[in-house]
């Protein structure tokens, strides 16, 4: 394992939709957390302000890790660069043609997302490779010059070059990129193989365009942040969280921002896995209630479920990523009426500016946080440790004007209904990653985190009959904690379709060795010795004649034994096919499609201080206040406990509220909560416990 510099102190920064979260761990294991508003216009300044509050010195840090929303926000808000696309003759419209399918065949009003590259900025050049890499049409460099000039004249700020079958041989792409860079050095130009080296023309083009779309913005942001921190004494290079759950250098993130789309949520899943291992929980639902979204992922048998392709705003992105389902339901999600007068929650969010109405910063629309304040679940006097005073009357006014009066109900009833709807949406998100995939949520524990994780955890778990819920200490900063505990990671892949036999297995093994060497070289550039690198191999396989693949693990020892590789891949593929689809053909011909290599640069684990030991004595509430736990329940005088005062073994019965300076946890009637040795709150429903 690699020590992160001479000092063991580390800091993680996670930029969310509403707040920037900070976690610092010093060399003794003491943890400090903080928050700053995530104001987009002054994000670097907010980060610096938060760092200055921490009891650490930048010049003594062993590592600085960063989860960023720059890339995903640029795509969602469509504020990336003006992109030009240079492609093979005849493939100009691949972004609009796509796969010819629609995500919901029962929606007659569905319209696909508008391409990020308008047609006049998509240009073709004569060139073509066959599927095996042989040249069908040589690259016309004069056409490259002519079409690149046209793109620049039309205002392109960034150019993506994506040629047919370049994943087999990227020579044409790289020559075109070099030519354009020589001719237009002020323009950012990238080959598609720099974003992904896998097949499927539409998906590869989409990935290349998205990378080119956000790359200029990410480059400016990373450069500005790194330089600002360097001027304030930071000596270690900035590390950026990837969607796959590992970190990479800031320089790589600036070139390949497409890898950071789920940067923050991935950190939470990594933290949940570390916590689950500590608690001996093999199956875990990871649930992150942030300011803008509700993010859900699964850990099954101790392993995080990953995907090789994700979608962002309806656009495919090829590359390894944690399988995270996100919906627009967070603390800043806005409640409004649809065209038919029904109440909806999200996906619009108030963000940090202007924020919820109760923030008093100019927001007038009701949010989930406003509803929590009105129902007494959040104390407006003690928000963020009393750093921010919330405006209860502003919250009531917003709910009244936009929900209660139009629907003819009282403010409290409206607030309860909004929260019930948000809980229902969150429940459906969990069903999407469990029930819809043949998994029973009753077989899982839930780790619920984020600023609102403790507010919704019990209600969602009760609906799904999840037997146990863990709300981590400093849950609002838990994704930042996960980022802090992440290894460096490099994923590489190569697509070559072969019928599965011993000859194909030998060729696959040769590819695997080359990819392993490539990934190891990248990590060596970060300072990792070969002994500190853990390599995992996988194969995408399918039945011959199919299009979609299933990814299975490949044992390293199989590379020298082709017969074992054939048998092992077949056995695992058929088993996975049966689990996913309920059937499988044991003897049907299989094809190897893509070889995948994941290399982790193992970082010395961060060790935090455990909670103070306790004798299991009853906890003493700090105060009582009136809280409404659900529609029709009315307000109940409820004991309020301070999280820091709960020693290990302390148990609380609902109804109760547990407060810490960054978040609040609700223990509804019928639930209990116990503080464990790590300071986590472990919630159980009394009927389930019995």
Q: Is the pLDDT of residue 404 over 70?
A: yes
Considering only residues 215 and 615, tell me which one the structure prediction assigns the higher pLDDT: 215
> What's the confidence (pLDDT) of residue 612?
52
Q: Residue 427 domain-assigned?
A: no
User: Is there a single domain that holds both residue 51 and residue 150?
Assistant: no
Radius of gyration of the chain (CA): 26
Q: Is the pLDDT of residue 457 over 50?
A: yes
Alpha-carbon torsion (635, 641, 642, 646), positive or negative: negative
Token output for 569: 């891949």
User: Is there a single domain that holds both residue 500 and residue 567?
Assistant: yes
User: Is there a single domain that holds both residue 147 and residue 166?
Assistant: yes
Q: For residue 687, give every residue at least 6 positions away whose Cβ sits within 8 Å of its Cβ, in sequence order, or none.
A: 670
Q: Residue 211 domain-assigned?
A: yes
Token output for 452: 């609102």
Q: Are 25 and 13 in contact (CB under 8 A)?
A: no
Map residue 48 onto helix, strand or coil.
Answer: helix
Spatial CA neighbour of 330 closest among 349, 344, 311:
349
- CA gap 21, 31 in Å, rounded: 13
Q: Are 203 and 174 in contact (CB under 8 A)?
A: no
> What's the confidence (pLDDT) of residue 503?
97
Alpha carbons within 13 A on the beta-carbon side of 142:
0
- How would residue 99 be classed by pLDDT, with cut points 50, 70 and 90? confident
> What's the confidence (pLDDT) of residue 209?
98
> What's the confidence (pLDDT) of residue 5?
41
- CA gap 676, 445 in Å, rounded: 15
User: Is there a single domain that holds both residue 123 and residue 206?
Assistant: yes
Token output for 563: 């017969």
**263 φ/ψ angles, rounded to the nearest 5 degrees:** -55, -60
User: Is there a single domain that holds both residue 123 and residue 150?
Assistant: yes
User: Is there a single domain that holds both residue 168 and residue 223?
Assistant: no
User: Is there a single domain that holds both residue 91 and residue 142?
Assistant: yes
Beta bridge partners of 665: 658
- CA gap 25, 607 in Å, rounded: 8
Token output for 243: 């969607």
Long-range contacts, 459-463 (Cβ 8 Å, 24+): 459/423, 459/630, 459/666, 459/668, 460/287, 460/423, 460/426, 460/427, 460/430, 461/683, 461/685, 462/668, 462/670, 462/671, 462/685, 463/423, 463/427
Map residue 580 onto helix, strand or coil.
Answer: helix
**Domain CATH number, residue 514:** 3.30.1490
- How would residue 4 be classed by pLDDT, with cut points 50, 70 and 90? very low
Q: Per the structure, how many domains does the chain have?
A: 4
Q: What is the mean pLDDT of the chain?
A: 92
Alpha helix segments (H runs only) across 302-348:
none
Q: Residue 436 domain-assigned?
A: no
User: Is there a single domain that holds both residue 86 and residue 198?
Assistant: yes
Angle, CA of 411, 414 and 417, to the nearest 5°: 150
Q: Are 242 and 489 in contact (CB under 8 A)?
A: yes
User: Is there a single domain that holds both residue 93 and residue 197?
Assistant: yes
User: Is there a single domain that holds both residue 253 and residue 347?
Assistant: no
Q: Residue 641 domain-assigned?
A: no
- How would residue 689 be classed by pLDDT, with cut points 50, 70 and 90? low
User: Beta 63-67 vs 10-15: how paired, if at all?
Assistant: parallel
- How would residue 649 be classed by pLDDT, with cut points 50, 70 and 90? confident
Q: Residue 627 domain-assigned?
A: no
Q: How far is CA 451 from CA 27, 47, 195, 509, 556, in A?
A: 27, 18, 33, 46, 41
User: Is there a single domain that holds both residue 200 and residue 86?
Assistant: yes
CB atoms within 10 A of CB 41: 7
Q: Are 288 and 268 in contact (CB under 8 A)?
A: yes
Q: Residue 455 domain-assigned?
A: no
- CA gap 516, 524 in Å, rounded: 12
Would you give the DSSP letter of residue 75?
A: H
Token output for 462: 């009760």
Q: pLDDT tens, 255-276?
A: 999 999 999 899 999 999 999 9
Domain final residue pick, 388, 421, 454: 421
Alpha carbons within 13 A on the beta-carbon side of 437:
17
Residue indicated by tokens 């400016």 = 220
User: Is there a single domain that holds both residue 408 and residue 525?
Assistant: no
- CA gap 503, 566 in Å, rounded: 10
Q: Are 98 and 44 in contact (CB under 8 A)?
A: no
Token output for 583: 């059937």
Long-range contacts, 554-559 (Cβ 8 Å, 24+): 554/512, 558/505, 558/509, 559/509, 559/512, 559/513
Q: For residue 290, give every residue at least 6 positions away whose Cβ sits within 8 Å of its Cβ, in sequence order, or none.
A: 16, 17, 18, 264, 330, 331, 450, 451, 452, 479
Q: Residue 621 domain-assigned?
A: no
Angle, CA of 553, 557 and 562, to the nearest 5°: 85
Q: pLDDT tens, 359-368?
A: 999 999 999 9
Q: Is the pLDDT of residue 103 over 90?
A: no
Percent of the residues in the chain that have a pLDDT greater than 70, as a whole number: 97
Per mean pLDDT, which range of 117-126, 239-248, 327-336, 345-354 is the poorest?
345-354
**Domain CATH number, residue 249:** 3.30.420.40
Q: Residue 684 domain-assigned?
A: no
CB atoms within 10 A of CB 570: 17
Domain final residue pick, 162, 195, 218: 218
| DSSP H or E run through 627 | strand 623-628
> What's the confidence (pLDDT) of residue 606?
74
Q: Is the pLDDT of residue 7 over 50?
A: no
Q: Which domain holds residue 410?
A: 333-421
Q: What is the mean pLDDT of residues 549-572?
A: 97
Q: What is the mean pLDDT of residues 619-642?
A: 90
> What's the confidence (pLDDT) of residue 613?
54
Considering only residues 386 and 85, tell me which one the structure prediction assigns the higher pLDDT: 85
Q: How far is CA 654 from CA 98, 473, 657, 663, in A?
A: 52, 19, 8, 18
What is 530-579 written as a DSSP string?
GGGEEEEEEEEEEETT-S--EEEEE-GGGGG-HHHHHHHHHHHHHHHHHH
> What's the confidence (pLDDT) of residue 554?
98
What is 250-283 written as a DSSP string?
HHHHHH-GGGGTTHHHHHHHHHHHHHHHHHT-SS
Q: For residue 570, give every residue at least 6 positions away whose Cβ sits within 8 Å of its Cβ, in sequence order, or none.
A: 500, 590
Domain final residue pick, 378, 403, 421: 421
């Amino acid at each position: 394992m690699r020590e992160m510099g001479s000092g063991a102190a580390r800091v993680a920064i996670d930029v969310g939709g509403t707040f920037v979260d900070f976690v610092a761990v010093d060399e003794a294991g003491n943890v400090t957390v903080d928050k700053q508003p995530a104001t987009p216009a002054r994000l670097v300044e907010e980060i610096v302000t938060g760092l200055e509050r921490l009891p650490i010195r930048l010049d003594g840090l062993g590592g600085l890790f960063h989860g960023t929303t720059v890339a995903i926000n640029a795509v969602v808000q469509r504020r990336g660069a003006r992109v030009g696309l240079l492609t093979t003759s005849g493939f100009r419209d691949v972004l609009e043609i796509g796969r010819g399918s629609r995500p919901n065949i029962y929606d007659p009003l569905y319209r696909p997302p508008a391409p990020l590259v308008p047609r006049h900025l998509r240009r073709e050049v004569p060139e073509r490779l066959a599927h095996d890499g042989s040249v069908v049409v040589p690259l016309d460099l004069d056409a490259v010059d002519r079409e690149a000039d046209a793109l620049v004249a039309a205002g392109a700020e960034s150019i993506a070059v994506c040629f047919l079958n370049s994943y087999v041989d990227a020579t044409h792409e790289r020559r075109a990129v070099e030519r354009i860079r020589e001719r237009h050095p002020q323009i950012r130009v990238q080959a598609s193989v720099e974003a992904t080296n896998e097949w499927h023309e539409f998906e590869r083009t989409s990935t290349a365009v998205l990378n080119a779309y956000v790359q200029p913005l990410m480059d400016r942001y990373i450069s500005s942040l790194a330089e600002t921190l360097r001027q304030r004494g930071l000596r270690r290079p900035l590390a950026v969280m990837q969607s796959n759950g590992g970190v990479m250098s800031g320089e790589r993130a600036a070139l390949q921002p497409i890898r950071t789309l789920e940067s923050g949520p991935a950190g939470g899943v990594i933290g949940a896995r570390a916590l689950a291992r500590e608690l001996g929980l093999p199956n875990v639902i990871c649930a992150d209630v942030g300011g803008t979204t509700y993010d859900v992922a699964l850990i099954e048998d101790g392993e995080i479920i990953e995907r090789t392709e994700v979608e962002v705003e309806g656009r495919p992105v090829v590359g390894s990523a944690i399988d995270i389902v996100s919906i627009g339901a967070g603390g800043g999600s806005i409640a409004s009426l649809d065209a038919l007068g029904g109440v909806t929650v999200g996906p619009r969010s108030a963000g940090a500016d202007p924020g919820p109405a109760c923030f008093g910063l100019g927001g007038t629309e009701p949010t989930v946080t406003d509803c929590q304040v009105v129902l007494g679940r959040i104390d407006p006097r003690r928000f963020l440790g009393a750093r921010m005073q919330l405006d209860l009357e502003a919250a009531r006014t917003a709910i009244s004007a936009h929900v209660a009066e139009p629907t003819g109900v009282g403010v409290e009833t409206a607030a309860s209904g909004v929260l019930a709807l948000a809980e229902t949406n969150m429940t459906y998100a969990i069903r999407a990653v469990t029930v819809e995939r043949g998994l029973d949520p009753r077989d899982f524990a839930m780790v619920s985190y984020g600023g609102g994780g403790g507010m919704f955890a019990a209600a969602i778990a009760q609906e799904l009959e999840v037997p146990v819920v863990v709300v981590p200490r400093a849950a609002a900063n838990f994704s930042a904690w996960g980022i802090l505990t992440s290894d460096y990671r490099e994923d590489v892949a190569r697509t070559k379709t072969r019928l599965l036999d011993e000859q194909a297995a030998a060729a696959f093994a040769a590819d695997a060795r080359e990819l392993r060497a490539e990934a190891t070289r990248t990590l060596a550039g970060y300072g990792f010795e070969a002994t500190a690198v853990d390599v995992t191999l996988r194969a995408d396989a399918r039945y011959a004649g199919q299009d979609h693949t299933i990814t299975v693990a490949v044992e390293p020892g199989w590379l020298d034994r082709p017969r074992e590789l054939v048998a092992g891949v077949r056995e695992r593929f058929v088993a996975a096919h049966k689990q996913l689809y309920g059937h499988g053909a044991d003897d049907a011909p299989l094809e190897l499609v893509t070889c995948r290599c994941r290399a982790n640069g193992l970082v010395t684990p961060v060790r935090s201080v455990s909670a103070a030991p306790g004798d299991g004595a009853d906890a003493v509430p700090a105060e009582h206040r009136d809280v409404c736990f659900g529609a029709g329940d009315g307000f109940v005088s409820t004991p309020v406990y301070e999280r820091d005062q709960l020693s290990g073994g302390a148990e609380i019965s609902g109804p109760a509220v547990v407060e810490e300076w960054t978040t609040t946890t609700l223990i509804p009637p019928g639930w209990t909560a116990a503080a464990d040795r790590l300071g986590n709150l472990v919630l159980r429903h009394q009927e389930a416990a019995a």
